[in-house]
Amino acid sequence: MLKLIKNANVFNPDPLGLCHILLAGEKIVYIGSDLPDLDSRLGVEILDVTGESVIPGLIDAHAHITGGGGETGPASRVPPVFLSEFTLAGVTSVVGVLGTDDLTRNTQTLVTQAYGLREEGLSAWCHTGGYHLPLTTLTGSTRGDIVFIDPIIGVGELAVSDHRSSQPTLDEFLRVASDAYVAGLMTGKAGIVHCHMGDGERGLTLLRAALDKSEIPARVFNPTHVNRNLPLFCEAKDLTRRGCYIDLTAFPEGHSEPGISAADAFLEYRAGGFPADRLTISSDGGGCLPAFDAEGRLTRFGVGLSGTLPDTLKELVHQNITLDEALPPLTSNVANLLKLKHKGRLKVGMDADLVVLDAETKVRDVMARGLWHVRDGTAVVLGTYESN
């Protein structure tokens, strides 16, 4: 069925003004100020949004789709994330990662979960490996996983400067990055190393050494959680001027200390004049958010939520940041980094992934791959094992 969205205040994420959007199947086939003349026999489904903002579907580039956790034993493992937990947050594309537990949860289960989310209507990918070396792979090699397994687009989240990491040496780190980069060249995939950054005093030393001592392009080295403490964030900002993308985590309320929230980090980054196209924001959805004492004992933990992404967007708008400035770290910048050519923008030929925001910048309606998943703030499509 054709779908027509009328009178939309469209953000590409650039502002396009008041437009009409025609969708056919899973693609955008028209955006313009003139209302298309469509034969009534085509059975067009029409939604008049009366000037509400329509934005690209959000891309969550760091989510524990199989569930994270496990730091205090099997009972502390977070359950897998249901479909509607993403769609209610305006997320139409997601990248799954493994964290501390890359043993009882592995690349096989991650790939399977990505395929499951695809069957339920989301666009889903994942990385191979997890916190530790040697990486947990499906084919036996990093290059093999990226080249031969469709959903796998890079390596991650490989732990650096963290007491839970395998303490990789520079040579080990460069070997992983080389394999990811070459596999990306062979396939057109992202080919990045998505690095979990801990609170260790070494900070980004390993990544700077990799940039200094190798020919691997800077975009391959992609640190996340960089706003978890202020010294790390200061280091990370400087790294963008060398060509790296850095990823902020939209921590739930009460979990950003001793760092800063994603919204505050965005504002500080913007005020410093750092490259606007090198910043992304992800949720760590489904991941455990632990805090440890000096002896490595767990003192508290929470769970990441994809809903922190639209919360961050809303906070930025309330801080007088325009939508076209606030959206790229959640949409087009992510698509550029991950080489998702049909995601992150509203243009003819792009995938029909979009979000309608109400006057309060809250997610009202969500379309993923041409199908409405959320209407008037209610999930109308649920995952296989979800219930109303």
pLDDT at 388: 57
pTM: 0.95
Predicted confidence (pLDDT) per residue in 334-379, tens digit: 999 999 999 999 999 999 999 999 999 999 999 999 999 999 999 9
**Bigger pLDDT: 256 vs 314:** 314
What single-letter DSSP state applies at residue 71?
Answer: T
In this structure, the number of other CB atoms found within 10 A of the CB of residue 356 comes to 24
- pLDDT over 60 at 170, yes or no: yes
Contact 113, 78 (CB under 8 A): no
> pLDDT tens, 264-296?
999 999 999 999 999 999 999 988 776 666 766
Q: In the numeric block, which tokens belong to residue 42?
A: 């085509």
The tens digit of pLDDT for each residue in 114-141 reads 999 999 999 999 999 999 999 999 999 9
pLDDT of residue 299: 65
**When comparing pLDDT for 235 and 70, which is higher?**
235
pLDDT of residue 79: 85
* Domains, in order of start, for the chain: 2-55+345-379 (2.30.40.10), 57-338 (3.20.20.140)
- Tokens 């959206």 locate to 327
Is residue 306 exposed (0-12), middle (13-18) or buried (19+ Cβ within 10 Å)?
A: buried
Residues that are catalytic: 284
- Stretch 36-61: mean pLDDT: 94
Residue range 29-40: average pLDDT?
A: 93
Q: Is the pLDDT confidence value at 71 over 90?
A: no
